[in-house]
Structure 1
Amino acid sequence: MKVAQLIHNELHCWKAELIRQMFDKPSAQAILAIPIPITSNADELVWVLDSKGVFSVKSAYIASNPQFNSPVRSTVKWKKLWSLKAPERLKMFLWRLCVNALPTRDNLFKRMNSVDTSCVLCNESEENPCHLFLHCPFAKALWFAACWGFKAEEVAVVSTEDFVNMVLNPPNVLCNSWEQWKVSLTMASTLEEIWYLRNSVLHSKSPLELHVSIQRIQRRCQEYMVTCPLSPSQPVPHDPTRWAPPPPGCIKLNVDAALSSSKATVAVVARGCSGAVCGVWAKTISLRSPLQAEAEAILWAVQIALKEGWSYVSIEGDSKTCMDYLSLLKTDLEWSIRIIISNVAVLAKSLANCSFVWVRRCCNSAAHVAAKFALCSFLLFLFFKDYLPPAILAVCMEESKLCS
């Protein structure tokens, strides 16, 4: 018997009853969780130990060495570092400093015992990151002169990660909140200048001139600010913290998924520009990963929109991975949701206007509550605004106040 005989080609779904008869329960659940593509796709090999499905020697090595499977915990918010308003060269320097990859003399001594470990700038202490960038007398003077009287001795830095955290979350300063990025830029430039000076003294025997270093830091910051202006009258926009109604003529569909130890549920909440509920759908699906369940919820929302005849829709969900793939049209899909996202994209083309938007959980409360509510049910259900369950009704009423 071939796999094709287990699939309804017209309905694009598995023959569930036949599969449950032929396989044990765990195997049947695993098969039924595999999505069926709407369009024919060529077969491909997938390396399941990689999220993109691509084999690499590194992933095989990690899989064969259990001690490497536990991730190293870091206190640095890497996304905040890479989104920092600063030149890419400067961000790469901060990363090298953070992971202790700079060839400071203490690092070189670990590999070559004959290396002199004294600080290049002051020759008073061992040259390690904490001393070189913060406790060295010249570093203290540079921090104070170039960074608004910043006193290095008052900062508790015990690791290289603390330097990056200090840049990303600078001490309170007298400036507007939307200008705080300029403080981070100056602090990062000061760290880079200290490293530049250290190398100049070591390799070129250059003199230490405090005023020249200050001017170099200021010039670099000003050059970048010219290319990246930010008017004080236009503060950095903040992420919305509450659900917002769609524009007139548009139907907004919020989607979410919930999982228990034995099953998964997906939910869709549709509302118009007035905030009135058009419908709340929820159903149980076979147990699968959270990411797959979120993708299934998006797919169901598109199917509902087509069935209801809505041509202008906005689909919101709190799965950033799924929404990024759909809104940014990324091609490096994770293998576990590749078929589902492909099906969403195919069906969305049948709608006149369909957008996919990532929102925070606090902006997706109604769909979240509906998905949790569905965990207590074994049937697909549809609620209209006149007979919503109390838990869902309370959330929808609270969010609809924004429309009045």
Structure 2
Amino acid sequence: MNRYWWDSGGDRRIHWKAWDKLCVPKKYGGLRFKDLRAFNLAMLGKQAWRMLTKPDSLVARVYKAQYFPKGTFFDTQIGNSLSFCWRSIMAAKSIICSGVRRRIGNGETTFIWTHPWLQDEHDHMIQTEMPVQLQGTRVMGLIDQQTGTWDNDILTDLFQPEDVGRIMRIPVSLDYNDTWYWHGDPKGMYSVKSGYRRIVGDYESQGGEFMNWLSLWRLKIPPKWRMFLWRAICDILPTTTNLLIRRVDVSPYCAMCGISQENTMHALVMCDYARNIWEQSNLTIPNIVTNIFHVWFEELQNVLDSDGMLYAASILYNIWRARNRAVWEACLPRPNSLLRAAVTAKDAWLQARPIRPPAALPANAVAHAAETVHDAAHVETALMAGNVVPNLRRCRVDAGYLHDTGRATVGAVLFDANGEYLAAFNAPLPTCLTPLMAEALACKEALSWLKERGEQSIELYTDCLTLQRYLATPTAAFRSYVGYAIDGCKQIATLFQFCSFNFIPRSDNYLAHALATTAY
């Protein structure tokens, strides 16, 4: 694949960038190609995930009978005399086991010291040393079965204060069994994409490198110009300096001026020929002293608008084409001829681009309009069928969340069908693990408040589009703790004569947001 990317035709070409560098995401300077080994492991992880979460399936039972008859997939070891398929699945076991957690329900099947069930990002295991007599004990023993909450006396007797604090943050629901879930996914479901990200890890920009990669990929320019600029910024153009580094026997001097050694900055900006072109272009060019092209280009992005960047990209691309003609054909076009060619290419690109509507709505506004139309059609259908929605109320709800402490709050404002204010509500919420969990619990508390008021017909509005989609999908399956709150919302919603979940832009939900903020 690397050879295919760099070669053109039958001649062997230089691989200007290593494959692992091309696999880096675009926002960090790569081309987002897949690391094939990591991607294969991520797909194998799908099979391992099924072994772990569906132990009663036919395939899982076959492998269990042969390889781990007395335990679970989480506890099994590689062993000897394995089939090729089983060795492949076991290659992904460490990836799956490092990314899964136990969701605590009644605590009956989760071991305190050997299962990952804490919600700490960096340490998901109990750190307190395990007493020998408590080996094999389960989380159920830490829960007060009468109140359905953690038994604080037992926790303080057994664990260090740090572990006690981490345990107390975890919600308990005795109505659910303990399950495995994929940490980091809102639904708690493993996907090949999330597994791949876990394998390759997080990328970080290195100091001194080009930083505006996203702005480069967003430029409205022809793709071949964008790819040329990427190569220029990465300094992998076949200039004489780069060719000599790769032991290609060439003259070190620039083919356009014949005076200086040629690097990327010289060929595109500093050469007398290129400098003459930039002066005639009437563009605002950065006046900085540097021999590094990406430093100059980053400053160029700061001083030019989108039209100016299109023109500048066309000039850069045509200067490089002129340089190649000087190398291979020993001729150079006049600067004014090159500028005319650059303008012609720019105008042709603008004419070829599809014309967009002048007043395009942002994505969240389109989604809001679609949800509004859907709900209006729902109500109209109910009215046409004779199911009149009496005393329709509209409730706007929002959650507050402090990430460092997990503290969460709810704020809700109730209006009648004409938009007149009726009531308001705010309160603190139990400790939450994620902002989405806080939003779901806020909706649950708002619905409970509305039911206590005796309301029967409700349109609930939230500014969390992800939550609205989950609530509006009747078959959405959850393995994460968010599922507790989602299920609670849906159960309370069945108690109303009419209840719908709608999206509202955050800018229109400021009253509920202010109420949630004051509840701290």
TM class by smaller structure: 0.5 to 0.7
Q: How does 1:25-64 map to 2 (within 5 A)?
A: 25-34=161-170, 43=180, 52=194, 54=196, 58-59=200-201
Corresponding residue for residue 381 of structure 1: none
Greater shift, 198-207 or 32-41, is seen at 32-41
Corresponding residue for residue 445 of structure 2: 304
Corresponding residue for residue 160 of structure 2: 24
SS in 1 for 2:445: helix
Corresponding residue for residue 385 of structure 1: none
SS in 2 for 1:139: helix
TM-fit CA distance, 1:326: 5.5
TM-fit CA distance, 1:111: 4.2
Contact 2:412–2:446 (Cα < 8 Å) also in 1: no
Q: Among 496, 503, 516, which residue is 1:355 paired with? A: 503
Q: Among 270, 279, 286, which residue is 2:424 paired with? A: 279
Corresponding residue for residue 84 of structure 1: 219
Q: How does 1:3-402 map to 2 (within 5 A)?
A: 3=139, 15=150, 17=152, 20-21=155-156, 22-34=158-170, 43=180, 52=194, 54=196, 58-59=200-201, 72=207, 76-112=211-247, 116-145=251-280, 147=281, 149-150=282-283, 152=285, 155-156=287-288, 158=290, 159-171=292-304, 180-203=305-328, 207-210=332-335, 211-212=337-338, 214-229=340-355, 234=359, 250-259=394-403, 263-271=405-413, 278-283=423-428, 286=431, 292-307=433-448, 308=450, 311-316=458-463, 339-340=480-481, 352-355=500-503, 367=513, 370-371=516-517
Q: Structure 2: 5+ residue runs without aligned partners? A: 1-136, 186-192, 366-370, 377-392, 452-456, 471-477, 494-498
Cα RMSD for the two superposed structures: 5.0
Matched residue type, 1:188: A
TM-fit CA distance, 1:104: 3.5
Matched residue type, 2:313: A
Contact 1:282–1:370 (Cα < 8 Å) also in 2: yes
Distance across 1 between alignment mates of 2:420 and 2:350: 44
SS in 1 for 2:480: helix
TM-fit CA distance, 1:285: 5.1
Normalised TM-score (structure 2) = 0.48
SS in 1 for 2:265: helix
Deviations 1:285-313 (Å, cap 9, x if unpaired)? 55x8xxx4423322222223432367433
Distance across 2 between alignment mates of 1:54 and 1:239: 29
Contact 1:46–1:53 (Cα < 8 Å) also in 2: no
**Highest RCO, 1 vs 2 (Cα 8 Å, sep ≥ 6):** 1
SS in 2 for 1:339: coil
Contact 1:284–1:374 (Cα < 8 Å) also in 2: no
Contact 1:295–1:340 (Cα < 8 Å) also in 2: no
SS in 1 for 2:355: coil
Contact 2:399–2:442 (Cα < 8 Å) also in 1: yes
Q: Which has the larger radius of gyration?
A: 2
Matched residue type, 2:262: E
Contact 1:282–1:374 (Cα < 8 Å) also in 2: yes
Matched residue type, 2:399: V
Matched residue type, 1:269: G
User: Structure 1 pair 367/100, CA: closer, same or farther in 2 (3 Å)?
Assistant: farther
Count of residue correspondences: 326
Corresponding residue for residue 59 of structure 2: none
Query: What percentage of residue pairs aligned between the two structures are identical?
Result: 19
